[in-house]
Amino acid sequence: MKAHILTITLNPTVDYCTTAPAIIPGPKLRCTEPEIDPGGGGINVARAIKLLGGQSTALVAIGGATGAHLLQLLALEGVPTVAFQGPGETRQSVSVIEQTTGEQYRFVMPGPVWREDDVPRALNSVDQATSDGTLVVLSGSQPPGVAKDFPSILSDHVAGREARLIVDTSGPALFHLVEQPHEALEVLRMDQEEGEELAGRPLPTPTDTARFAAELVEKGVARTVIIARGADGSVLSSGSGSWHSVGAAVPVVSKVGAGDSFVGAFTLALAGDEPVEQCLRFGVAAASAAVMTEATRLCDSETTLELMERCSLIRL
């Protein structure tokens, strides 16, 4: 039986994606009818899991009319959702593709500022939605006002429920997790640039990346550390070894959602007790499937399974 999966999105968004003939200052830019999707790291992870044939629950902070619209979008996609009241109005984000060049311009709003009493409400919602063995996924940016130690505080709550925590974050929250290991996470994911900044040195090869990831595992930061190397796939290190997986060469339409698709596929495989290296391979395949789609369409099951057969997997 697969473990229950709960994704957490503190700073969700309603994403608008449109196109314009050219992006230039001054005149009104006449855009095409936008595609409108629910967005935010944890939401996209839950959407990817749904597209891959799995099931999860999305725990989402919402506010105002945009928050209500977000819940409607999630219902239309069939993603089970637990909402709790967040501060202010749920944010909106806009991406515009320039038709003449194919370049994509992404305008991401910061979201409402959280107050001190908003965080306990979020943690209480997590406690109510988490049971023994749940895989809890914290993904995406933290809202303004949420302290950098939130993932560490969340780790305490998850450990108290005998659940496992997967974190895909960046910035101060990521640095705090690495500099002050608290309760060992199940999985910590970051990208190559963040890994090099944390390591304080270049990581030019997969072996270099794996060595640094293994250092973090040994330090007690997480039981498994994943570092995404862009087109060069992803590297994973755990107590049982290190692996490097690279996806098949595919046409890139949009990179939006590739990381969330990776996390969704990886978590779904982990929930099914697949070996960690196969979870890595499934995640890389889902990321490859996602870049082949427009806007925030994410991955799909058929393409991901086909691409998985073409993903390399090497033990380092």
Distance CA 147, CA 169 (A): 13
Round to the nearest angstrom and report the end-to-end CA distance of the chain. 31
CA distances from 290 to 205, 253, 285, 302 (A): 25, 9, 9, 12
- Let me know: does 71 contact 53? Beta carbons within 8 Å: no
CA Rg, the chain, in Å? 19
What are the beta bridge partners of residue 16? 36, 94
Annotated active-site positions, please?
A: 260
CA distances from 201 to 196, 224, 235, 236, 239 (A): 6, 21, 17, 18, 23
Distance CA 250, CA 212 (A): 29
CB neighbours (10 Å) of residue 180? 11
